[in-house]
Amino acid sequence: MTSTREPSAPAAGSQTLSRGLRALELLAEAETPLTITELADGLGVHRSNAYRILRTLEQHRFVARDPAGKIRLGPKLTVLARGVAPVLHTAAMHPVSELAYALGMTAFITVLDADEVVTLVSVEPSNVSATIARNPGVRHPVDRGAPGHAIESSLTAAERIAAFGDTALSEAAALAQGDGYAVSRNEVIDGVTAIAVPLRLEGEPPAAIAVVHFNLPDSIESVVSALQATADQIAQNYR
């Protein structure tokens, strides 16, 4: 699948803003808090420039530093996240929490953004010894991972043209369309398996609900049934 979006260099006046936004993306994508050196390397700037960006983000509570000085996303972003698809966020939060605790797996909802999927809601259960972090705002290409395959499988021909420039389904999305769910292993994070089902609500972007874990049962029917039941509950809450 070929992306239709072409990256362009930011204008000089917007370069600082662009780097600040990229810093938030890097922190969202990181599995653990970053050092200032790691952040600077990710941005491709000198440490002094990274510090200036960091101080501004800290002042607005978009990022925070732990006692060791490592950088993580701040609580202010939670408020912003609620403003993205707020009705979907409200309708999904409780069912997704119930799903995560019932299965003992991180459960989350992703939505389509151009040719990427973005995590909107995520719950890590505390009733198990280990979970996989999936922070809201994390994004990756739609052609990688079960959530992306599930979303692609639900798109109309017009939606596929808008996102990808053609109507052809990828092999993984075609399989998900036939099965009603998608499974991926090692596609986004090594050693991690995901299962997802589409979630389509009128007025909201194409979405999927998914779970991720290090190991899934040999028989995934019960997981798929739980995902589908959760999707139905979210749809009922949304009405």
Structure token pair of residue 50: 């990274």
Alpha-carbon distances, residue 107 vs 46, 70, 114, 201 (angstroms): 37, 26, 23, 19
pTM greater than 0.75 = no
Tell me, yes or no, if the two domains 12-76 and 83-238 fold the same way.
no
Determine how many CB atoms are found less than 10 A away from the CB of residue 56: 15
Give residue limits of the domains in the chain: 12-76, 83-238
The full 3-state SS of 49-115, as one line of letters, equals: HHHHHHHHHHHCCCEEECCCCCEEECCHHHHHHHCCCHHHHHHHHHHHHHHHHHHCCEEEEEEEECC
Q: Per-residue confidence of the chain (239 residues) as pLDDT tens digits?
A: 444 444 455 555 578 889 998 898 888 878 788 999 999 999 999 999 999 999 999 998 889 898 888 998 887 776 666 656 677 888 899 999 999 999 999 999 999 988 888 888 899 999 888 888 777 778 888 888 999 999 999 999 988 888 888 888 899 999 999 999 999 998 888 888 999 999 999 888 899 999 998 877 677 899 999 999 999 999 999 87
Q: What is the DSSP string of the chain?
A: --------PPPGGGHHHHHHHHHHHHHHH-SSPBPHHHHHHHHTS-HHHHHHHHHHHHHTTSEEE-TT--EEE-THHHHHHHTSSHHHHHHHHHHHHHHHHHHTSEEEEEEEETTEEEEEEEE--SSSS------TT-EEETTSSHHHHHHHHH--HHHHHHHHSS-PPPHHHHHHHHHSSEEEESSSSTT-EEEEEEE--TTS--EEEEEEES---S--HHHHHHHHHHHHHHHHHH-
Q: What pLDDT does 233 receive?
A: 94
CATH code linked to domain 83-238: 3.30.450.40
Look at residue 82 in the predicted model and tell me its pLDDT: 60
Distance between CA atoms of residues 142 and 70, nearest Å: 30
The CATH number given to 12-76 is 1.10.10.10
